[in-house]
Amino acid sequence: MLKKTPTFGPGTKRVLAASLVGTSVEFYDFYIYATAAALVFGPMFFPSKDLAIQQLASLTTMAVAFIARPLGAAVFGHFGDRIGRKSTLVASLMLMGGSTVGIAFLPGYAQVGWVAPVLLCVLRFGQGFGLGGEWGGAALLAVENAPPGWRSRFGMFPQLGAPVGFIFANGLFLLLSLVLTPDQFKAWGWRLPFLASSLLVAVGLWVRLKLHETPAFAQAMAEAPPSHVPLAEVFKRYPLRLLGGMFSVLACFALFYLTTTFALTYGATKLGYGRSTFLAVQIGAIVFMALGIALAGWWADRATPRIVLMVGSLLAVVCGFLIAPMMQAGSLLMVFAFLSLSLLVMGLVYGPLGAFLPHLFPARVRYTGASAAFNVGGVIGGGFTPSIALALANKVGGLAPVGWCLSTAALLSLLALIPLRREEP
């Protein structure tokens, strides 16, 4: 039974705001890249007479960030477990923001040849490296400040940064597509969302620089010196928890990137919907993801995060069977219904992760363990998912094999969650 609602002071509200604002900025940066990759980067950085090759090359650059994320998780996790959460979170935000703003100034292939896609990949790597350290720190900031019985509801705040960042990112792209001509958008309009990131980063830094260290980290440091190499300790002492945590997030990443990046590319080409129309549909559907996250946070505090994740993974298996008949029904309303349902389920498999993954590990190596599980799982579940899905859809001529991939990823998550019965206090 839940305890009486505690009184939250300014310090607690600042912690929740910092975890939400920071992840909103980070995911905004990540999503504007995904949207630009689906709409612009193909012809600009990878010119080819074959449109499918352009799209595939553009979407594949997304995988660069997913490869960088585990490296960022290891580096930022190392310092987060040794010197503290606050400084590490500030550094991750600055790296992510700087990389994003840099993309706004990139020349295209027509200007500098092969150097252009190389620079794009370098900055994409910086985005992924920064995000690799962001999520774990933001989740710890929230849950390590949570009062008893409120861990999952506090842990949902960094998770809400995903739909908030998505709405800002795609909302800005939608606005630009409405006020600019297609030629203006391709020539310079796509750069504006990347430039706008500098303002959002400034807000995030202002909030985070006012924070203090979490009580759990301070207590862990008082009880024993920090681990010399946190990642080595995680591999040595908690390998099964790390492996289980990695596979528990597959459904989350596969579901999200298939219903956002892949769906936008496929919907605006193969299904014949206008770019602005499909962006508007996705923005409306992403609200259901936010609702799912809020529901999951409330539910997980009454049950357990693991139970909610298992139910969500089972529902994600069902979504895999629905993607072909609903997306190919020839009705925009059916497309909206599928995206809304899938993103609601996405909230159920994403919302509890902020409470679930950190508490698989003790406080002294929690930043490293949670970040590694989340980001390595992200590589497996989401890094190549849009490009693989696009290749399968182009080869087969339909979405059925894409659905099989989604259902398989969700089933693997469900199986991984079964043995993870006990969590660290």
Tens of pLDDT, residue by residue over 36-54, are 887 788 888 887 666 677 7
What are the tens digits of pLDDT across the range 231-253?
A: 999 999 999 999 999 999 999 99
pLDDT over 70 percentage in the chain:
95
State the DSSP code for 149: T
Q: What is the pLDDT of residue 310?
A: 96
Q: What is the pLDDT of residue 106?
A: 92
Contact, 216 vs 363, CB < 8 A?
A: yes
Helix, strand or coil for residue 106? coil
Other C-beta atoms closer than 10 Å to the C-beta of 149 total 15
Q: How far is CA 282 from CA 53, 234, 258, in A?
A: 25, 38, 12
Helix, strand or coil for residue 107? coil
Give the residue-averaged pLDDT of 255-276. 84
CB neighbour list of residue 12: distance below 8 Å, 6 or more residues apart: 145
In angstroms, rounded to a whole number, what is the distance separating the alpha carbons of residues 324 and 344?
A: 18
The Cα angle at residue 347 between residues 57 and 164, in degrees rounded to 5: 70
Pair of tokens at residue 216: 């759990």
- Check pLDDT > 60 for residue 98: yes
Mean pLDDT (the chain) is: 86
Pair of tokens at residue 166: 């998505």
In angstroms, rounded to a whole number, what is the distance separating the alpha carbons of residues 56 and 62?
A: 10
Q: What is the pLDDT of residue 200?
A: 82
Q: Which of 10-14, 112-116, 137-141 has the lowest mean pLDDT?
A: 10-14
| CA 348 to chain centroid | 14
Contact, 136 vs 77, CB < 8 A?
A: yes
Highest mean pLDDT among 19-23, 195-199, 308-312: 308-312
In angstroms, rounded to a whole number, what is the distance separating the alpha carbons of residues 179 and 399?
A: 33
Pair of tokens at residue 165: 């960042």
Rounded to two decimals, what is the model's pTM? Answer: 0.84
- Check pLDDT > 60 for residue 24: yes
Contact, 381 vs 262, CB < 8 A?
A: no
Contact, 424 vs 359, CB < 8 A?
A: yes
- Check pLDDT > 70 for residue 384: yes
Q: Which residue has the higher pLDDT, 328 or 21?
A: 328
Give the residue-averaged pLDDT of 169-196. 88
Highest mean pLDDT among 52-56, 335-339, 379-383: 335-339
Q: What is the pLDDT of residue 1?
A: 44
pLDDT over 90 percentage in the chain:
37
CB neighbour list of residue 263: distance below 8 Å, 6 or more residues apart: 278, 282, 327, 339
CATH topology of domain 10-417: Growth Hormone; Chain: A; (1.20.1250)
Other C-beta atoms closer than 10 Å to the C-beta of 71 total 15
Q: What is the pLDDT of residue 424?
A: 47
- Check pLDDT > 70 for residue 292: yes
Q: What is the pLDDT of residue 336?
A: 95
Q: Which residue has the higher pLDDT, 59 or 380?
A: 380
Other C-beta atoms closer than 10 Å to the C-beta of 173 total 27
Give me the amino acid identity at 144: E
State the DSSP code for 186: I
275-302 and 305-327 helices, crossing angle to 10°: 160
Contact, 177 vs 275, CB < 8 A?
A: yes
Pair of tokens at residue 193: 């969302």
Q: Which of 32-46, 91-105, 137-151, 305-319 has the lowest mean pLDDT?
A: 32-46
- Check pLDDT > 70 for residue 257: yes
The Cα angle at residue 205 between residues 203 and 210, in degrees rounded to 5: 110
Q: Which residue has the higher pLDDT, 290 or 58?
A: 290
What are the tens digits of pLDDT across the range 206-224?
A: 877 777 777 777 787 787 7
Contact, 92 vs 72, CB < 8 A?
A: yes
62: buried, middle or exposed (CB in 10 Å: 19+, 13-18, 0-12)? buried
Contact, 141 vs 15, CB < 8 A?
A: yes
In angstroms, rounded to a whole number, what is the distance separating the alpha carbons of residues 226 and 268?
A: 51
Highest mean pLDDT among 3-17, 21-35, 125-139, 304-318: 304-318
Q: Which residue has the higher pLDDT, 134 or 239?
A: 239
- Check pLDDT > 80 for residue 423: no
In angstroms, rounded to a whole number, what is the distance separating the alpha carbons of residues 254 and 214?
A: 32
